[in-house]
Structure 1
């Protein structure tokens, strides 16, 4: 079973996806992969990366998005560190944001 990863960013204040938000994925071997959410707030731009078990970090650059939609942002970025396991299948890392808060969980 291979390992795959996707993400989704939702603006909980507007009740809408956070489109065109920049993010980076730092892999377990130190590579940095740049990406951006699509019009539905989803990101799967690393689908061709050969994921291995290990620790990863998604950095969501929230400041520009929040300032443009809410005129303020307390968090300039949000880092989510997580661990992929061998034969872990698909991992989905959603981010829920507002100008003054955020949360995440392992989605499906």
Structure 2
């Protein structure tokens, strides 16, 4: 009987619209030159609206390990396009300015029930990103 009830509840849950909290979107900045996380970097999370305009959802600063584990407790991610903007001006050395003063990563959230992790790997004149887990 418990199995039947569990299956019925599971079936009902599949009919419920899925909305995930923005803590399901995270990032990690990795500095290849120093071999450590990029600590203290400002990061913003925005979502593209139907008219193409970007709406700021949240801002954060990377922790000592270069991570932003959550962008807020009250934000809810929906399917759509999102943008992480990294302010790289603090990564500059005193002798020269950053080649990439800002890095924008645009990505799609197709299934808001799944965690989305977007790491970025940096060097002074390049960067790479991928969908992490």
**TM-score range with shorter-chain normalisation?**
0.7 to 0.9
Gap runs ≥5 in structure 2: 1-17, 50-54
Q: Which has the higher contact order (CA 8 A, sep 6+)?
A: 1
Which of 61, 64, 68 is the equivalent residue of 2:90? 64
Larger Rg: 2
| Offset, 1:88 | 4.8
* TM-score, length basis structure 2: 0.72
Deviations 1:15-35 (A, max 9, x none): 111000011111234134111
Which of 125, 129, 132 is the equivalent residue of 1:100? 125
Which of 41, 45, 53 is the equivalent residue of 1:25? 45
Equivalent in the alignment of 1:35 = 60
Higher helix share: 2
* TM-score, length basis structure 1: 0.87
